[in-house]
Structure 1
Amino acid sequence: MHLIYFYRDKQGRRPVIEYLDELAARKDKDSRIKLNKINDYIEALSREGTRLGKPYVKHIGGDLWELRPLRDRIFFV
């Protein structure tokens, strides 16, 4: 199991969490699908780490990777 820590900027904002909250606040089907898919990918990343491989994750370079749910991209190290 890998721990997932979400980025927090100097103002205390957490962009990924804010985006997930925005999706959760919407009532349309597309937002629900997107939110569920992102949560599924985050859970899979927590279980398997970067061993998930494509299409779930992609190595960008160095320690930088991206999580790839649908058309969204969430960068992580």
Structure 2
Amino acid sequence: MQAHMHTERTLLPRGLIARRRRVYTAKWTFKLDSFVEYRGERTVVIDRHRTIMGAEIYTVIPLTTIPGRQWVCGRSLKHIH
């Protein structure tokens, strides 16, 4: 006699299936109010957030042209020293 029956995973309702969660705890590359270079232009970081996959998205404002917000992926920005 079998005391425990194993149920196939595909037969369970979706709510009962355990899902793997990814947690990204990486540090930010750029700080708020820091000056960065984007496409050869000097800009300032005013906001930042992460996507579900952990990519950094920054909101920057150019300093030399008419102000307009741009949402930029973090890997396309450069530090200004």
- Structure with bigger helix share is 1
TM-score by length of 1: 0.30
- Structure with bigger strand share is 2
TM-score by length of 2: 0.29
